[in-house]
């Protein structure tokens, strides 16, 4: 018998140089981290600008080099290799260390900002240049946060490079974080205008519709302040329902929002850690809607208090507001929301805590054209969709029965459709009529997961 | 056919997709006692997803589609035990561990395992197939720390195994009997595209080559293979992916007619009363013209079970598989097929075929030259809507009718480049006298017009 032999010529040759460059990237990352550490603790001995800001720049270069080397040469189907086998992405020891360090950083940031003086000083020149005023812990936090989205945005762009949906979506979250949540607020401060984030709205930025904030914006910001109040109100009550009707919750949660931006970039390596059990869904429903109710009540109380000049409710509304600020604004969204990334997945806050997500979710479930369609009888129940759903939705439950997925929590990131090996899922907007109808090519259970 | 009564006991051997679908569909309309017996695993898992556990994309618990609460709430009893033999005269199963199990109706959904063809050395350590959970565990052990592997057979399990091994940095050589990978199923162009893609992933393909023998080292482990042409290839692992054979050894003496599989009629009845067999382990006595005797796929397992469930529920439903469909993935390239696209074309076959310059995407619309009826669709790297393709094939659409609705069929994610225009250009070049429609219908319009959705609203 004749034998045709074809040897491969295209692969394996760059392996060595790839590993060397990867190591170089790790070395540069380490130097950067040391610089940042020195800035934090040794600001009295050496200029924290040199070590801190310099270290941050060096860290960025190293991280980009490492990400490029470790992602560029992996084909798109290989990107999730070993995720459940590696320590850092499967709740191993290093995951716990990263979780503790992140959580600790948030505790310092919120309640002991003085301990971060060295790092705050390190960002002083940047703050002066952008905002024309001294740096503080929130500027330090904003800088790190934006940098995390930009660096890990490059990671997401490489990881999902064969999908235009993910490329455009990732660029969108990078753009909104850098432009709307970092540069623009800084610029406003430089121009002596109120600091305002045009990409955050009530009820996520709960105090934007509190009487105190409205009062301050209108008084201090004059015409621009009035516009800001108008913008916030329009987005909360008009643009949000309209956009959600046409595109689902995703227009905000996985395209614009900064929390979503961090989750989709820096949080991407942890998306499979979300709990998919029915119990987790019960917790989700039991927590997130009461929080939305709490924000609405707090806002109402504050306005009633303001109109009645404190006669009706006394100090109650103020107590509501500060309680919410402590437990939800700081504890939940920051400490737990990001600190627990490596342990509970990247959308803990968005899934269990965010009032905006609850509001968008109700709209998405009941007043929207959005759904994830299932392709006939093609599902093989493999579970990639459910595993990689950061919101903990058991996507497979619906897909294997040929049903569309219409869930309040779905943020429309589109990863389920991306990891499906059989092309079974598609995010799409269609008529509300027949929205829940499944494929006729498969018989299904009438059983509901939550009753 | 009487509907199974609430007092009767339905026992299913096997908890793969066929057994599980049967249990679910029967439970929907009957309160009978249902027991599923499996020696492989207590809970049903997705067999096709075993590869993702090896590659670290998922853990075993992630490929289990229904948690414990589901089986409890559905009152489907699970028995994790091995059936030693079936005594049809007493209607009972003899288990290895537990007490005997009496049945009123028995369904055999025992699946299959790797088929071997009496190669010298095939029982050596390091030689194995990949079908069951135990195979996966064995593969973990057999591939720990090794450098080189050989895969025998160029089918779907073969390429899955190749992808698994590459994820651990193991060098892979595949022995393929045909001139190209999967050329017994794929036409020339598609087979060439996939063959090239597999090679680009670092797999060495030995085409038109077969296994002669596996050679042992001193410890009785595979150290190399020799091919038919006498070539010796060093390897510490040999993957056998040359097809599967039904798991029916334990049925000897049960009084069932058995050929290659358990012989069944069109409603899955075996030669014994109240005993049925379906999916991988069954063989049709009289398959419909042009249909295979055995069907060993995930999808056919589900379709068999849906038909048999109707029969057990009192509505005699002969199995009809309807327009064919299948899907797979070759490393980065997804594959979908609808209808029938044979590997070799005859005089009667004509097709519109398009592939991109990088040879990562391809679309073929195959039609009958005389009647111009659509015969089948092959897709590589492009997703089409199953519901609409099924409708076209079921309704006997001509190519012209298909072209009118082509823009609505694409199922790729938003913002992806669309290629349907390339096919339409080809079509109107080939038939210059025909006119494109004034307006393209969207999927939603067609879905409504043809009623391509179910009425059931659940969850």
State pLDDT tens for residues B218-257: 999 999 999 999 999 999 999 999 999 999 999 998 999 9
When CB atoms are compared, the residue of A12, A396, A443 closest to B202 is: A12
**Tens-place pLDDT, residues B26-81:** 999 999 999 999 999 999 999 999 999 999 999 999 999 999 999 999 999 999 99
Distance from CA of A399 to the nearest CA of B (A): 11
Whether A69 contacts chain B with CB within 8 A: no
When CB atoms are compared, the residue of A81, A381, A439 closest to B55 is: A81
| Helix, strand, coil percentages in chain A from 3-state DSSP, rounded to 5 | 65, 5, 30
Residue count (chain A): 451
B177 vs A28: CA distance, rounded Å: 50
In B2-81, DSSP assigns E strands to: 9-13, 33-38, 76-80
Q: What CA–CA distances, in Å, run from B448 to A433, B386, B387?
A: 9, 15, 12
Whether A74 contacts chain B with CB within 8 A: no
Cβ separation of B46 and A4 shorter than 8 Å?
Answer: no
Whether A439 contacts chain B with CB within 8 A: yes
At residue A389, the 3 state secondary structure works out as coil
In the numeric block, the tokens 């179910």 are attached to B454
- CB contacts, 8 Å: A375 with chain B: 383, 385-387, 411
CB A262 within 8 Å of CB A149: yes
The dihedral through the CA atoms of B14, B184, B379, B352 has a sign that is negative
Distance from CA of B168 to the nearest CA of A (A): 9
Classify domain B127-242 at the CATH superfamily level: FAD/NAD(P)-binding domain (3.50.50.60)
A131-134: long-range contacts, CB 8 A cutoff, minimum separation 24: A131/A186, A131/A187, A131/A189, A131/A190, A132/A189, A132/A190, A133/A189, A133/A190
The chain B residue lying nearest A395, using CA atoms, is B65
Distance of alpha carbon B253 from the chain centroid: 30
Cβ separation of B229 and A449 shorter than 8 Å?
Answer: no
DSSP assigned state of B458: -
For chains A and B, what is the number of CB pairs under 8 angstroms? 214
Q: Where are the alpha helices (DSSP H) in B395-458?
A: 399-405, 420-430, 443-449
When CB atoms are compared, the residue of A1, A8, A439 closest to B228 is: A1
In B104-156, DSSP assigns E strands to: 105-108, 112-114, 127-128, 148-152
Where residue A58 falls among pLDDT bands split at 50, 70, 90? very high
**Tens-place pLDDT, residues A408-436:** 999 999 999 999 999 999 999 999 999 99
CB B187 within 8 Å of CB B341: yes
Cβ separation of A8 and B306 shorter than 8 Å?
Answer: no
Q: Is the pLDDT of residue A315 over 80?
A: no
The dihedral through the CA atoms of B403, B404, B409, B414 has a sign that is positive
- CB contacts, 8 Å: A272 with chain B: 58
When CB atoms are compared, the residue of A1, A7, A85 closest to B56 is: A85
First to last CA, chain B: 33
**Residues 6 or more apart from A442 whose CB is under 8 A from it?**
A376, A377, A401, A402, B302
- CB contacts, 8 Å: A11 with chain B: 200-202
B45 vs B63: CA distance, rounded Å: 6
**Tens-place pLDDT, residues B238-249:** 999 999 999 999
Cβ separation of A376 and B387 shorter than 8 Å?
Answer: yes
In the numeric block, the tokens 């129940």 are attached to A381
Distance from CA of B73 to the nearest CA of A (A): 10
The domains spanning B9-113+245-312 and B127-242 adopt the same CATH topology: yes
Cβ atoms within 10 A of the Cβ of B271, count?
A: 16
DSSP assigned state of B143: T
**Tens-place pLDDT, residues A325-369:** 888 877 788 888 889 999 999 999 999 999 999 999 999 999 999
Cβ atoms within 10 A of the Cβ of B269, count?
A: 18
The chain A residue lying nearest B208, using CA atoms, is A3
Task: State the pLDDT at residue A14.
Answer: 58
CB A43 within 8 Å of CB A77: no
User: Both tokens of residue A282?
Assistant: 């019960």
- Peptide bond connecting A203 to the previous residue in cis, omega within 30 degrees of 0: yes
Distance from CA of B403 to the nearest CA of A (A): 20
Distance from CA of B325 to the nearest CA of A (A): 8
Plot region of B361 (φ>0 → left; ψ -120 to 50 → alpha; else → beta): beta
Task: State the pLDDT at residue A15.
Answer: 73
A140 vs A143: CA distance, rounded Å: 5
Whether A211 contacts chain B with CB within 8 A: no
- CB contacts, 8 Å: B24 with chain A: 445
Plot region of B226 (φ>0 → left; ψ -120 to 50 → alpha; else → beta): beta
B270 vs B284: CA distance, rounded Å: 10
Cβ separation of A403 and B415 shorter than 8 Å?
Answer: no
Distance from CA of B449 to the nearest CA of A (A): 12
A144 vs A243: CA distance, rounded Å: 30
Mean pLDDT of B282-294: 93
Task: State the pLDDT at residue A314.
Answer: 67
pTM of the model: 0.95
- Read out DSSP for A56-84? HHHHHHHHHHHHHHHHTTS-GGGTTTTTT
Domain ranges (residues) in chain B: 9-113+245-312, 127-242, 325-449
Question: Is it true that domain B325-449 has CATH number 3.30.390.30?
Answer: yes
Cβ separation of B67 and A439 shorter than 8 Å?
Answer: no
First to last CA, chain A: 64
Q: Is the pLDDT of residue B457 over 60?
A: no
A242 versus A339: the higher-pLDDT residue is A242
- CB contacts, 8 Å: A77 with chain B: 163, 329, 331-332
Q: Which of A423, A434, A436 to mutate to test the interface with B (most CBs of B within 10 A)?
A: A423
CB A155 within 8 Å of CB A176: no
When CB atoms are compared, the residue of B28, B302, B327 closest to A445 is: B28
| Host H or E run for residue A241 | helix A240-247
In the numeric block, the tokens 């595993």 are attached to A387
Q: Is the pLDDT of residue A279 over 90?
A: yes
Which of these, B240, B233, B228, B227, lies nearest to B155 by C-alpha position?
A: B240
| Host H or E run for residue B347 | none
CB B131 within 8 Å of CB B113: yes
Cβ separation of A84 and B28 shorter than 8 Å?
Answer: no
When CB atoms are compared, the residue of B65, B387, B452 closest to A383 is: B65
The chain A residue lying nearest B452, using CA atoms, is A440
CB B149 within 8 Å of CB B237: yes
Angle of CA points A164, A178, A226, to nearest 5° = 115
The chain B residue lying nearest A277, using CA atoms, is B67
Task: State the pLDDT at residue A323.
Answer: 82
User: Both tokens of residue B449?
Assistant: 């017009």
- CB contacts, 8 Å: B414 with chain A: 165, 427-428
CB A188 within 8 Å of CB A182: no
Q: Is the pLDDT of residue A12 over 70?
A: no
**Tens-place pLDDT, residues B290-335:** 889 999 999 999 999 999 999 999 999 999 988 999 999 999 999 9
Domain ranges (residues) in chain A: 16-74+88-122
Where residue A309 falls among pLDDT bands split at 50, 70, 90? confident
CB B210 within 8 Å of CB B153: no
Distance from CA of A149 to the nearest CA of B (A): 23
CB A351 within 8 Å of CB A288: yes
| Host H or E run for residue B240 | strand B237-240
Plot region of B330 (φ>0 → left; ψ -120 to 50 → alpha; else → beta): beta
A295 vs B179: CA distance, rounded Å: 67
Cβ separation of A448 and B459 shorter than 8 Å?
Answer: yes
Cβ separation of A4 and B202 shorter than 8 Å?
Answer: no
Question: Is it true that domain B9-113+245-312 has CATH number 3.50.50.60?
Answer: yes
In the numeric block, the tokens 């929301």 are attached to A337
Task: State the pLDDT at residue B169.
Answer: 95
Q: Is the pLDDT of residue A5 over 50?
A: no
């Amino acid at each position: 018998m004749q034998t045709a032999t074809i040897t491969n010529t295209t692969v394996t040759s760059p392996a060595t140089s790839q590993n060397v460059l990867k190591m170089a990237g790790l070395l540069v990352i380490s130097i950067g981290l040391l610089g940042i550490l020195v800035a934090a603790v040794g600001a009295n001995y050496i200029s924290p600008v040199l070590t801190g800001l310099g270290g941050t720049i060096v860290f960025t270069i190293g991280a980009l080099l490492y990400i490029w080397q470790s992602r560029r040469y992996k084909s798109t189907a290989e990107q999730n290799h070993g995720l459940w086998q590696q320590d850092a992405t499967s709740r191993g020891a290093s995951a716990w260390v990263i979780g503790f360090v992140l959580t600790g950083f948030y505790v310092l940031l919120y309640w002991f900002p003085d301990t971060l003086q060295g790092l705050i000083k390190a960002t002083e020149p940047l703050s002066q240049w952008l905002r024309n005023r001294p740096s503080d812990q929130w500027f330090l936090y904003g800088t790190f946060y934006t940098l995390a989205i930009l660096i890990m945005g490059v990671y997401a762009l490489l990881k999902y490079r064969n999908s235009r949906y993910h490329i455009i979506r990732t660029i969108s979250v990078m753009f909104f974080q850098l432009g709307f949540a970092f540069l623009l607020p800084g610029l406003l401060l430089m121009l002596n205008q109120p600091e305002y984030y045009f990409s955050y709205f009530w009820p996520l930025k709960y105090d934007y519709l509190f009487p105190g904030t409205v009062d301050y914006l209108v008084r201090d910001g004059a015409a621009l302040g009035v516009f800001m109040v108008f913008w916030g109100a329009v987005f909360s009550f008009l643009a949000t329902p309209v956009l959600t009707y046409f595109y689902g919750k995703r227009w905000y949660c996985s395209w614009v929002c900064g929390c979503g931006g961090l989750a989709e970039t820096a949080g991407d390596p942890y998306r499979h850690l979300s709990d998919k059990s029915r119990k987790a869904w019960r917790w989700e429903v039991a927590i997130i809607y009461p929080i939305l109710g709490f924000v609405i009540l707090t806002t109402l109380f504050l306005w009633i208090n303001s109109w009645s000049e404190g006669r009706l409710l006394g100090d109650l509304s103020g107590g509501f507001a500060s309680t919410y600020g402590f437990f939800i604004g700081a504890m939940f969204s920051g400490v737990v929301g990001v600190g627990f990334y490596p342990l509970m997945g990247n959308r803990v806050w968005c899934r269990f805590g965010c009032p905006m997500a609850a509001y968008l979710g109700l709209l998405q479930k009941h007043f929207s054209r959005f759904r994830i369609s299932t392709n006939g009888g093609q599902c093989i129940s493999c579970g990639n969709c459910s595993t990689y759903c950061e919101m903990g939705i058991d996507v497979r439950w619906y897909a294997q029965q040929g049903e569309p997925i219409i869930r309040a929590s779905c943020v429309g990131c589109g990863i389920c459709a991306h990891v499906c090996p059989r092309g079974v899922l598609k995010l799409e907007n269609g008529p509300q009529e027949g929205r829940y109808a499944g494929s006729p090519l498969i018989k299904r259970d009438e059983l509901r997961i939550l009753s | 056919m009487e509907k199974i009564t609430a007092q009767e006991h339905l026992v299913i051997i096997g908890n793969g997709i066929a057994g599980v679908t049967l249990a679910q569909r029967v439970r929907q309309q009957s309160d009978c006692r249902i027991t599923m017996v499996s020696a492989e695993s207590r809970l049903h898992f997705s067999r096709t997803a075993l590869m993702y556990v090896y590659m670290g994309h998922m853990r075993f618990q992630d490929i289990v589609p229904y948690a414990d609460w589901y089986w409890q709430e559905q009152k489907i009893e699970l028995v994790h035990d091995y059936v030693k033999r079936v005594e049809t005269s007493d209607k009972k199963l003899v288990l290895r561990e537990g007490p005997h199990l009496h049945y009123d109706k028995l369904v055999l959904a025992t699946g299959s395992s790797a088929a071997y063809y009496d190669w010298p050395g095939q029982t050596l350590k390091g030689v194995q197939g990949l079908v069951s959970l135990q195979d996966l565990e064995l593969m973990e052990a057999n591939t720990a720390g090794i450098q080189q592997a050989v895969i025998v057979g160029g089918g779907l399990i073969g390429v899955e195994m190749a992808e698994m091994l590459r994820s651990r940095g193991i060098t892979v050589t595949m022995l393929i009997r045909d001139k190209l990978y999967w050329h017994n199923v794929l036409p020339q162009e598609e087979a060439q595209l996939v063959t090239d893609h597999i090679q680009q992933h670092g797999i060495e393909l030995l085409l038109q080559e077969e296994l002669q023998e596996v050679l042992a080292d001193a410890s009785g482990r595979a150290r190399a293979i020799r091919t038919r042409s006498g070539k010796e290839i060093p390897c510490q692992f040999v993957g056998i992916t040359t097809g599967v054979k039904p798991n029916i050894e334990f049925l000897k003496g049960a009084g069932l007619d058995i050929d290659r599989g358990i012989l069944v009629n069109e409603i899955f009845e075996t030669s014994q009363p109240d005993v049925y067999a379906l999916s991988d382990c069954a063989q049709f006595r009289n398959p419909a013209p042009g249909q295979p005797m055995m069907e060993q796929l995930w999808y056919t397992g589900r379709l068999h079970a849906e038909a048999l469930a109707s029969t057990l529920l009192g509505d005699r439903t002969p199995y009809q598989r309807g327009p064919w469909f299948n899907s797979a993935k070759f490393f980065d390239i997804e594959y979908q097929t609808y209808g029938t696209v044979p590997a070799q074309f005859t005089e009667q076959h004509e097709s519109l075929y398009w592939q991109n310059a990088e040879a990562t995407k391809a679309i073929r619309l195959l039609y009958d030259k005389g009647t111009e009826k659509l015969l089948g669709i092959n897709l590589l790297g492009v997703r089409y809507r199953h519901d609409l393709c099924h409708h076209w094939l079921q309704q006997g659409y001509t190519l012209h009718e298909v072209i009118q609705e082509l823009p609505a069929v694409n199922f790729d994610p938003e913002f992806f480049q669309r290629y349907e225009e390339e096919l339409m250009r080809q079509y109107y070049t080939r038939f210059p006298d025909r006119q494109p429609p004034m307006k393209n219908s969207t999927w939603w319009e067609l879905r409504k017009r043809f009623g391509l959705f179910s009425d059931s609203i659940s969850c």
